[in-house]
Amino acid sequence: VAHKDPKVVVVENVKGLVHHDGGRSLRFLLGTLRAAGYRVTWQVLDATRFGGAQVRQRLFVVASRGRKFDFNGLVSKPP
């Protein structure tokens, strides 16, 4: 990310990262992106909310040079 300097970065990982090492791993990731000049939002999303056939919860972090990403704007559909 530091070498390419993209306008938007999307990080996807297991939901367990939220609580890993007492939350320090996620705080480190968010802090690193913020220190690089990004506005950062994150949320755990379930694949069934977006048409997936199985419950699969994943952490999504969206970092942007512009305005913060709004997860509420995502369109849901039935599994």
User: pTM score, two decimals?
Assistant: 0.91
pLDDT digits (tens, 9 = 90+) for 40-60: 999 999 999 999 999 999 999
Q: If you search the block for the tokens 């306008």, which residue do you land on? A: 7
CA–centroid distance for 57 within its chain: 12
Find, among 3, 11, 8, 48, the residue nearest to 30 by Cα: 11
What is the tens place of the pLDDT at every residue in 8-34?
A: 999 999 999 999 999 999 999 999 999
